[in-house]
Structure formats: C-alpha cells, structure tokens
Structure 1
Amino acid sequence: MRKPVRDGLLPRMEARRTKKGFTYRYHPVGGKPVNLGSDRVEAIRKVLDMTGAGDDIGTIRRLWEQFQETPGWNRYSQYTRADYTQCSLKLLEIFGDMRASDIDATDVAKYLRKERADAPVRANREAALLSNLIGLAIERGEAKHNPCREVKRNEEQPRTEAPEPADFAAFSQWLADQGGQRAMIGMAAEYAAGAGNRKVEFLDLSWPQIDRKAGHIRVKRAKQRGKKRGEVIEQIEITPHITALLDRLEVVRKNDCLYVFPNRSGNAYTQAGFKAMWQKLMVEAIKKEVIAHRFTFHDLRAYYVTQHKAERGALPDLHANPATTARVYDRSKIVKRRAL
C-alpha cells in the first residue's frame, strides 16, 4: 500500500494520488476525513480556516515577519536588511492584508506604475522584496506562482553627473564654517570623496583602523557575495589630503572617542540618521545658493572615481569587475586619447 504524500502539508492533512494529480483530505481528531478538493493551496486554506489558524496565513504582512526569521535574512548585510525594512513600510501599506495567492500581475503593475509613480526607482526595490515574500509563500505551499516575475520593472536612468569640484569645495567649506555635527557631516563627505568608500563601509570607522605610521586605512569592502563576504579588506593610502582631514578630525575628537565620524552621542551614525541629516543639509545648501546643483552622497563615490582617473590616469580598484567601476562611476565629460 502506498504511503500518503505529506510534503508541505499541514498536520493531519493527506494527499492522495489520482490520474490527474492529487486530491486532498483532512483527518480531524475523532471525526471522519474531510474532502478538500484537488487545489493544494485552497486545501491548506480550508484546513487553516477549520482550525481557526488561517486568518493571516499567507498574507504579505505575515510573510514579511516570517521572511525575517529565515536563514537567508541573516546572511544579508546590515545595509540590505535596513533597506528591506524601509521598503516594507509602503509595501505593507498596500499589500499587507492581501494573501500572496490573491496577488496577480495587474496588482504588481498598478503598484509600480500608479501607486508608486512618484518614486519609480524605489518602487523597483519594493517589488523585489514583494517577489521574495511571494517566493517564500510558494515554498510554504501558500501560493502557486510569482506574479512579480511577469511584470517589467520601471526603467531606471543611471546618474551621469558627478559633483563639480567647485560645488563640492563650496559645500564642504560651508559645513566646516558652521562647526559641530554639520562640520562632522562635511568631513565624512570629504572622506568619501577622497577615499571612495561607501557609507556602510566607513560610518563605523574606528581610530584603530587607521595606521598613520604605516600610511593606510583598513576597511571591509561591502557588497561581497559568497565566501568573499566580509573577507575583502581595502587598504587605503593616506594621502596628504587625507592626512589633513585626519588632523582636523583629531582636533575635534572628544574623550578619546572610538569612532572617527561620531554623532552627538559619540556613537557611530546609523544609515537612517546620516541620510536624514545629509538630505536636510543638501536642501538648505540649495535654498541658500551655496551650491547650484544637488547631489547625493553616493555621487561622491563617482566624484572619487572621476577625479582619480583625471589625476592618476586610471580607474581605482572598487569592484572585482573593473567594467562595473567604469560603467557606474566614471562620469568624465572629457575623454583624452592620442592621435596617430
């Protein structure tokens, strides 16, 4: 006699083979088996409804909670987890109470094109999270297909501008003149522009990572996958410009603070806290005509690459694939080449 199929089913459920697939039954305690039909997802939902446990099973809100308990979640970097958490806010507002199995391609398209029309790039990140959550529902037997894979993402136009040196110098000096945390944010920007590190790589930079005698700063490179995660160390040369910046940071260092770019409390800035402060300062700088064009903090990485190429004649080593550095961060407006 064949054993009943139980993979992915709830306790006391049974799947019986038929010529066309499977039919499902539920065995209540002390009662006769209940036929559930041939639709696996619907059969699971019926059992959950019968047992009183199905009110939020398979909803995006519940799946988001379960997603954060998966092994994969712990393998994400702190930056990625924070970004997904930010993405979940708007996503749960729209889809939170919907079951993954009830979401179709038109719902995803409406979200991307209409409900998040004011933030098309961010909407793509949110749709990626939604796809992960529905994928989890499929693994748990709570959905059959992933509609996110059927909808084209919003077109993203890569940024082509890097801050002009004059604009960046004016912005940095404006912050330095104000002192306090504004000056600290300015010095963090100067470091990013001079060393090319991402925020996630240096917001918690500590003084022991700086070896002025050996002439270098050591940080872990972010966004490494697989076995390289957390193992690639960048050793950054301390140039005269970085030396001058470190001298200024030493002057304002309080009580032997561990962090190079501390917040008011002497702790490392969080991603969210730094981002909020940066946006506030950028809006104010534009309003007061300190700078003519707004730029993002991540644009400082492009500034570093562009200036590095102009001054040293080559792109810096930022990625395992040099083509990525050239494609994403090199924003040179003048290309020099030799004639025959």
Structure 2
Amino acid sequence: MGAGEPRAGRRDAPHRTKVEERSMRKPVRDGLLPRMEARPTQSGFTYRYHPVGAKPINLGSDRVAAIRKVLDLTGAGDDLGTISRLWNQFQETPGWKRYSPYTRADYTQCSLKLLEIFGDMRASDIDATDVARYLRKERADAPVRANREAALLSNLIGLAIERGEAKHNPCREVKRNEEQPRTEAPEPADFAAFAQWLAEQRGQRAMIGMAAEYAASAGNRKVEFLDLTWSQIDETAGHIRIKRAKQRGKKRGEVIEQIEITPQVAALIARLKIARAAQKNEDCLYVFPNRSGTAYTQAGFKAMWQKLMVEALKRKVIAHRFTFHDLRAYYVTQHKAERGALPDLHANPATTARVYDRSRIVKRKAL
C-alpha cells in the first residue's frame, strides 16, 4: 500500500477530530444508575451494566428500557416511572414549592381520582387513547374537573421525561373537554334573600352569609379573603388591603388591592364586629373565623357553602342555584351597572370583560 493511499476499511468512515474521538471513547454517566455504562455508537448509545465480579450485561440502545432492566436486576424497579411514584416525586420539586397553597390543595384533590386509574401504570406505557378514554368515559360525569386532572397527569409525565423514564407526553396529543363558561350572575333579589335568610340564623351560618356579602361587595376570591385579618382593615383611611391571588412570576404576592370601604361595606364591618363581640373572642385575628376562631380552609368553607345552598333551594329561599365564585361575577356586573365601568380585577381588562361581565342589557346611544 503506497504512502498516499487511504488505509483499507477507512475509505467511507467520516472524518473526526481528536476531541470528537476522545468524546466517543469516554463513557457517558449523566442520568445513569451506578455501574451502568453508555457506549457511543454511530447512531447514539448502547448501554451495559457491570455486576460485581461478573461479565458486563448488554442492555440495548433504549435508555429508559436499560434503566428499567438494571432496576429489575437489582430489585429496585417495581415502581420506577409509575404515576403514583411520580406524584410523590412531583411534590418534592422546586416547581411544587412555588405553587400557592390553593394550587397545591387543588392538585392534591385532582390526584385522588387520577391515582385510582393511573397510579400503577408507568408513564412510558400511557398513550393518547388512555388519556382520551379517561377524559371522555371514565370522567364523563365531571368533564371540567377531568381537564384539571389531565393537566396534572401531563405535569407528572413531563417529570418522567426529565428523569429519563418516558419519551413523549401523550396528554399533549388529546384535546381537552370543552368547557362552557357560566353566563349568569345571581339576581340581586335572589342574593338579597339568601343573605337575609343566613343573617337571621346567626352563628356560623350568619358568618358564611357575611362572607358572601363581602365577596359580592368587594369582588375578592375566597383564597384572597378567607384569612383576612382585622389589621388589614383601615377604617380611618377608608380601605381594605388584600394581596391579589393568581399572580405569576415577579408579580407573585406583590400586587396589593386597596378596596374602598363604601357605606355598604362599612355596615358589613359593623355587623362583623358585633358578631365578634357576641362570640366573646375579642382577640380573634380573623374577620371571618370558623367555630374554633381560626380561618376557614378552602375545603371547609366549600362544604359549608354547598350544604347551605342545597337547603336554601329546598326551602325555596332562592329560585336558582349559584356558586360562590358567581359572586365575583355579581360584583363585576353590578359595578358596571352602577358605575358605568368594569372594575380592575385583572392585568388584562379583556379577561374581566370575558369571564365576569354577565350583563344582560347593553346600553348604547343612538345617533
């Protein structure tokens, strides 16, 4: 073979630099289990496991399958990549810690039904048909809630992908159930009758009624005012200061709503003070306390509200059922009718108009 001729067997081989050749020879360790080895090939990697005192075991070129085989060999892979295990791991991530307590509680509630169906399944074994069946059939009686549960499932499978326990997210391939936004707010007469009915019963029922009156007058979410303290009410300055919920990024916890104390709100505060004195608990910090003198939890308040709503319908106190969140729409609709403009509830005014403005009569001028 002449000096200028190419060496046999290397004619079609791609040219590599010395740095590339060294990287091809160097074992890859990122994301692998102890005693595993990733060996570079022309098309990717092939994996091996080195048992103590025995020959290496070939694991193939599929990284997820290779890790699972090693865990099976060592007796530690029974629940690798299962949704139940991913749910536990999800609660240890930095992202979980950044969620508000309300979001954590909501995800925890979503996990109950989700784990019943998918708990023992591996994320890598779930496909789009499984997700679609869950949304359309297994949770057909609660389509909106099913959407929230599918969002949690998507987060868990996303975590599995990051950990090398799955390759794709089937939740992104399935269309969510269609959600019909609510279009009606409580009628003023209905709400007034409901509030008066609760006020006449005193005790915790009256407290729930006053919380509803506050929501209808100030437009705050439950998560924003259930733990409202008396120190946040400044009657001298004439306002109530509350942190706005559902803020993202740098705005989280930084947007403060300063709510005007109108004559209607002032009268409500006076009644709340009378209730506080009647309970002989002047040291209670919370404006809307439960029987124990602490703030209501989301679940506790919701259960109490649903119980009262069912009873009010049965006794024909009100003609139509409404949710507590509908009181936010009630506030927006009445604010627009009385003051001629929508209140500032969102960074984007279009969101307030689209979601909460439920005016049935639109007034405009003729030429």
TM-score between both structures, scaled by the size of structure 2 = 0.92
- Alignment partner of 1:92 is 2:115: yes
- How many pairs were matched up? 340
| Distance across 1 between alignment mates of 2:31 and 2:334 | 56
* CA displacement at 1:51 relative to structure 2: 1.0
How do residues 25-64 of structure 1 correspond to structure 2 at under 5 angstroms?
A: 25-64=48-87
What is the match of residue 356 of structure 2?
Answer: 329
| Distance across 2 between alignment mates of 1:30 and 1:70 | 37
> Aligned match of 1:206 in 218, 225, 229?
229
> Aligned match of 2:106 in 69, 78, 83?
83
Opposite residue 332 of structure 1, the aligned amino acid is S
Opposite residue 247 of structure 1, the aligned amino acid is A
- Alignment partner of 1:300 is 2:327: yes
**SS of equivalent residue, structure 2 residue 258:** strand
| Distance across 2 between alignment mates of 1:96 and 1:219 | 39
> Aligned match of 2:256 in 233, 236, 239?
233
* CA displacement at 1:173 relative to structure 2: 0.6
| Distance across 2 between alignment mates of 1:264 and 1:191 | 19
* CA displacement at 1:104 relative to structure 2: 0.5
* CA displacement at 1:101 relative to structure 2: 0.5
* Consecutive unaligned residues in structure 2, runs of 5 or more: 1-21
TM-score between both structures, scaled by the size of structure 1 = 0.99
4+ runs deviating over 3 angstroms: none
**SS of equivalent residue, structure 1 residue 178:** coil
1:16-46 deviation digits (Å, cap 9, x = unpaired) = 1112221111112222211001111111100
What is the match of residue 255 of structure 1?
Answer: 281
| Distance across 2 between alignment mates of 1:30 and 1:179 | 77
1:29-79 deviation digits (Å, cap 9, x = unpaired) = 222211001111111100111111111111000000000000000100111
What is the match of residue 284 of structure 1?
Answer: 311
- Alignment partner of 1:246 is 2:269: yes
Q: CA RMSD in A?
A: 0.7
| Distance across 2 between alignment mates of 1:255 and 1:179 | 16
**SS of equivalent residue, structure 2 residue 332:** helix
1:279-332 deviation digits (Å, cap 9, x = unpaired) = 111111111111111000000000000000000000000000000000000000
* Consecutive unaligned residues in structure 1, runs of 5 or more: none
* CA displacement at 1:109 relative to structure 2: 0.4
* CA displacement at 1:136 relative to structure 2: 0.2
| Distance across 2 between alignment mates of 1:193 and 1:13 | 62
What is the match of residue 339 of structure 2?
Answer: 312
What is the match of residue 291 of structure 2?
Answer: 264
| Distance across 2 between alignment mates of 1:30 and 1:131 | 42
**SS of equivalent residue, structure 2 residue 308:** helix
Opposite residue 301 of structure 1, the aligned amino acid is R
| Distance across 1 between alignment mates of 2:52 and 2:202 | 72
What is the match of residue 179 of structure 2?
Answer: 156
* CA displacement at 1:15 relative to structure 2: 1.2
| Distance across 2 between alignment mates of 1:110 and 1:158 | 23
| Distance across 2 between alignment mates of 1:30 and 1:304 | 74
What is the match of residue 338 of structure 1?
Answer: 365
What is the match of residue 222 of structure 1?
Answer: 245
| Distance across 2 between alignment mates of 1:159 and 1:29 | 64
What is the match of residue 201 of structure 2?
Answer: 178
* CA displacement at 1:128 relative to structure 2: 0.1
* 109-118 or 32-41, which deviates more: 32-41
**SS of equivalent residue, structure 1 residue 269:** coil
| Distance across 2 between alignment mates of 1:245 and 1:222 | 23
* CA displacement at 1:262 relative to structure 2: 0.2
1:172-217 deviation digits (Å, cap 9, x = unpaired) = 0111111110000000000000000000000000000000010000
1:140-166 deviation digits (Å, cap 9, x = unpaired) = 001010000000000000000000000
> Aligned match of 1:71 in 74, 88, 94?
94
**SS of equivalent residue, structure 2 residue 289:** coil
| Distance across 1 between alignment mates of 2:31 and 2:339 | 59
| Distance across 2 between alignment mates of 1:202 and 1:145 | 41
| Distance across 2 between alignment mates of 1:8 and 1:150 | 27
| Distance across 2 between alignment mates of 1:94 and 1:272 | 23
1:243-291 deviation digits (Å, cap 9, x = unpaired) = 0000000001142210000000000000000001111111111111111
- Which structure would you say has the larger Rg? 2
Question: What is the aligned-residue identity percentage?
Answer: 89
